[in-house]
Amino acid sequence: MMRFLRSTGVMALALLGVPFMVMAAAPIPVTGAADPMPDHDIFDHAYCAAFRFSTEIGFTEGSPPHFPPRSDGDLLSTRGCLVLTNNELTANLGIMPVVPDLGLDAATSTFRRPVLFSLEQSVFSETLGRIGHGDLLATDGRIVRTNHQLLEAFDPWGPCPCISVDGDCDCDCTFASCPCGCCDVGLDAAHVEIVSSADRRILFSVEHRFWSEALGQWVSHGDLLSDTGAVFRTNQQLMANFHALCPDCPDADCECDFGLDAVYLTRWGTVWFSVEQGFYDVRLGWISDGALLSENGWVVRRNLQLLHSCAPLEDLANFGLDAVDFRIHGLPASGDVAEPLPIDTK
């Protein structure tokens, strides 16, 4: 029998009645304007806690021993920097010959299960056929959901972005008919949520807005969506607790959309996210597109805080943030599943 006992600054692991004491890691503050802001999103003292993420810009890792440059397609961690290279992420997808880095647009990972992710570009697989940049993939070699399957419950209508493996398609694509079969609105962020043992939903964002017949409205590239056909959070709801100046109408009360590049839903139901477009907040100052934010209106981590263990040699303040996940080793993650998500064959 195993249980976790928590006290101030100390965590005790009792196994078979014999206590085993370990020192807890330093508190993980949520950083706001100047002072740490307490937030129920994070344990006061987290043992073996780590963010996993990807950047938009590659860099040279400065932490010894020195490794080859890290790309924007590698999965990184705040503990030890590298988790998986882009080639390791795609190794089981049947992409032959081995291609250059394909980027990493979304990732939701656990310590025990395959990493689920999307690519920045479409590619051909000898075992799976066409892999779209909006498909949700797994490191065990599966297409978990195609872009079409993710959007199916929204009943999308109208013109559709058409991106082939070789570039733009020549055919005229709509959601109803795409002769070349490459209709794809992209996949910018993804997170698997466990509602119950029999109910799992995928939260995600897209790169291009589309019209939903089921909802009777436009769905934005900054909205957080559910594969059940619902808008889980609009971009305006995510940004409601910030005091952001909209670059398109800084003095007007308009609905500005800052995009949605990365997302993580905490076990307390709070959304952490990053935006595609940095902004100025009248309370917090400049917030880059590489910062991890809480919908409660605080900065969870600045970009260079996430990259601290990687110690980039490049003199940049922001490397971007394309994907994010958070894990505490030894505790079930909000996206952990008892078995891999099945392939939807509809």
Q: What is the pLDDT of residues 130-150, one digit of tens each?
A: 899 999 999 999 999 999 999
Element (H, E) at 300: strand 298-301
Which CA distances in Å does 74 have to 107, 161, 301, 321? 10, 26, 19, 12
Confidence band of 91 (pLDDT split at 50, 70, 90)? very high
Please name the residue that has the structure tokens 């509602």.
195
pLDDT of residue 172: 72
User: What's the pLDDT tens digit per position in 301-330?
Assistant: 999 999 999 999 999 999 999 999 987 665
* Total residue length of the chain: 346
For residue 242, pLDDT beyond 70: yes
pLDDT at 197: 55
- From 10-24, 43-57, 247-261, 324-338, the region with the lowest mean pLDDT: 10-24
Cα–Cα dist 211/159, whole Å: 9
**pLDDT of 282:** 92
Q: Which residues have a Cβ under 8 Å from the Cβ of 3 and sit 6 or more positions away?
A: 14
Give the per-residue pLDDT at 208.
92
d(CA 210, CA 159): 8
User: Can you read off the two tokens belonging to residue 330?
Assistant: 């030894």
Average pLDDT of every residue of the chain: 79
What is the widest separation between alpha-carbon atoms in the chain? 68
Predicted local distance difference test score (pLDDT) of residue 170: 60
Per-residue confidence (pLDDT) for residue 171, from 0 to 100: 67
Secondary structure tally for the chain: helices H, strands E: 4, 31
Q: How confident is the model at residue 165 (pLDDT cuts 50, 70, 90)?
A: low
Which DSSP state fits 151?
H
The 3-state DSSP class for residue 52 equals strand
pLDDT bucket at 263, cuts 50 / 70 / 90:
very high
Q: Take residue 18 and report the two structure tokens written for it.
A: 């014999």
Give me the mean pLDDT over the 226-254 stretch.
85
Number of neighbours of residue 67 by Cβ within 10 angstroms = 14
pLDDT given for residue 198 in this prediction: 59
Higher-confidence residue: 162 or 124? 124
Tell me how far apart the alpha carbons of residues 104 and 171 are, in angstroms, rounded to a whole number. Answer: 27
Percent of the chain residues topping a pLDDT of 70: 71
For residue 71, pLDDT over 80 is answered with yes
Q: How do the domains of the chain map onto residue ranges?
A: 1-36, 48-328
Is residue 199 over pLDDT 90? no
Q: Are 163 and 187 in contact (CB under 8 A)?
A: no
Region 35-50 average pLDDT: 49
